[in-house]
Chains A and B, each alone.
Chain A
Amino acid sequence: MHPSPDPLPRIRAARRRDLLFATAALVVLFIASLVLFGLILDLVVRGAPHLDADFFTNYPSRRPSRAGILPAWVGTTLVMLVVAVLAIPLGVGAGIYLEEYARRNWLNDVIEINITNLAGVPSIIYGLLALGLFVHGVGLGESILTAGLTLALLILPIIVVATREALRALPREMREGAFALGADRWQTVALFLLPAARPGILTGIIVGLSRAIGETAPVITIGALTFIAFLPPPPITAEFPWISFDWLWSPFTVLPIQMFNWTSRPQPAFHELAAAAGVVLLVMTLAMNALAIYVRYRARRLLG
Chain B
Amino acid sequence: MQRARTLGLVLAGALAAAASAAWAAGDGDIVRIDGSSTVYPITEAVAEEFQIKYRGKYRVTVGISGTGGGFRKFCRGDIDINDASRPIRGPEREACAAAGIRYLELPVAMDALTVVVNPQNDWVDCLTVEDLRRIWEPAAQGRITRWNQVRPDWPDRPLNLYAPGVDSGTYDYFTEAVMGEAGASRGDYTASEDDNVLVQGVASDPNALGFFGLAYYVENRDRLKAVKIRNPRTGACVEPSVETARAGDYAPLARPLFIYVNPERLDTKPAVAAFVDTYLDAELVVGLVQEVGYVPLPEEGYALAQAKVKARRTGTAFHEEGAGIGLSIEELLRAETVD
User: What are the residues of chain A within 8 A of B59 when measuring CB–CB?
Assistant: 229-230
> B120 at the A/B interface (Cβ < 8 Å)?
no
Q: Which of A59, A225, A248, A266 contacts B63 (CB 8 A)?
A: A225
A53 vs B94: C-alpha distance when bound (angstroms): 49
CB distance from A86 to the nearest CB of B (A): 10
Contact between B45 and A246, CB atoms less than 8 A apart = no
Q: Which residue of B lies closest to A230 (CB)?
A: B59
Determine which of B20, B21, B44 lies in contact with A62 in the assembled complex, contact meaning CB atoms within 8 Å: B44
Q: Which of A261-297 contact B (CB under 8 A)?
A: 261, 263-268, 271
B17 touches A223 (CB 8 A): no
Contacting A at CB under 8 A, from B12-31, are: 13, 16-17, 20-21, 23-24
Decide yes or no whether A141 CB sits under 8 A from chain B. yes
Is the CB–CB distance between B44 and A266 below 8 Å? no
Proximity bits, A220-245, B CB within 8 Å = 1, else 0: 10011111111000000000010111
Whether B189 is near chain A, meaning CB under 8 Å from some CB there, is: no
Chain B, interface SS category: helix
Q: Is the CB of A264 within 8 A of B196?
A: yes
Complex alpha-carbon distance, A60 and B63, angstroms? 13
Q: Is B61 close to A, CB under 8 A?
A: yes
Q: Compute how far the CA of A223 lies from the CA of B76 in the bound complex, rounded to whole angstroms.
A: 14
Give which listed residue, A220, A228, A245, contacts B13 with CB less than 8 A: A245
Main secondary structure of the interface of A (DSSP, over half): loop
Cα separation A222 to B65 with both chains bound (whole Å): 10
Selected from B20, B48, B73, B293, the residue in CB contact (under 8 A) with A246 is B20
Contacts of B24 in A (CB 8 A): 141, 143, 246, 249-250
Contact with B along A248-262 (1 / 0, CB 8 A): 111100000000010
Instruction: Find chain A residues with CB under 8 A from B34 CB.
Output: 223
Among A245, A268, A271, which residue has its beta carbon within 8 angstroms of that of B20? Answer: A245
**B61 adjacent to A228 (CB under 8 Å):** yes
Instruction: Report the separation of the CA atoms of residues A227 and B60 in the bound assembly, to the nearest whole angstrom.
Output: 8
- Output the least CB separation between A264 and chain B (Å): 6
Q: Is A61 close to B, CB under 8 A?
A: yes
In the complex, A248 Cα to B16 Cα: how many Å? Answer: 11
Known: A62-B48, A227-B44, A266-B219. A248 touches B17 (CB 8 A): yes
For the complex, is B92 an interface residue (Cβ under 8 Å from A)?
no
Is there contact, CB below 8 Å, between A243 and B16? yes
Name the residue in B20, B43, B63, B220 with the highest tally of chain A Cβ atoms < 10 Å from its Cβ: B63
Q: Shortest distance in angstroms between A244's beta carbon and chain B's nearest beta carbon?
A: 7
- Please measure, in the bound complex, the distance between the C-alpha atom of A63 and the C-alpha atom of B291, giving whole angstroms: 9
User: A267 contacts which chain B residues (CB < 8 A)?
Assistant: 215, 219, 293
Residue pair B218, A249 in contact (C-beta under 8 Å) = no
For the complex, what is the distance from the CA of A189 to the CA of B247, rounded to whole Å?
A: 77
CB contacts (< 8 Å) of A59 on chain B: these are 48, 51
A263 CA to B200 CA, complexed, in Å = 13
A260 to chain B minimum Cβ distance, whole angstroms, is: 9
Contact B51 A266 (CB under 8 A): no
Partner of B62 from the list A225, A249, A250, A271 (CB cut-off 8 Å) is A225
B195 touching A264, Cβ below 8 Å: yes
Assuming the contacts A244-B20, A246-B20, A263-B194, asked whether A226 and B62 have C-beta atoms less than 8 A apart, the reply is yes
Please give the distance in Å from B273's CB to the nearest CB on chain A: 19
CA distance A63 to B292 in the complex (A): 9
Give, as a whole number of angstroms, the nearest-CB distance from B198 to chain A: 11
8 Å CB contact of B64 from A61, A229, A261 = A261
B78-95 vs A, Cβ < 8 Å mask (1 yes, 0 no): 000000000000000000
Binding site for B on A (CB under 8 A): 59-63, 85, 141-143, 145, 220, 223-230, 241, 243-246, 248-251, 261, 263-268, 271
User: 4 tightest CB-CB pairs across the interface, nearest first?
Assistant: A245-B17, A227-B62, A62-B45, A249-B24
List 21 A–B pairs whose Cβ atoms lie within 8 Å, in order of A's numbering.
A59-B48, A59-B51, A60-B44, A62-B288, A62-B291, A145-B17, A223-B34, A223-B63, A223-B65, A224-B63, A225-B63, A226-B40, A226-B44, A227-B48, A228-B61, A243-B13, A245-B13, A266-B196, A267-B215, A267-B219, A267-B293
Known: A227-B44, A229-B59. 6 other contacts (CB 8 A): A85-B10, A223-B63, A228-B61, A229-B47, A230-B59, A266-B218
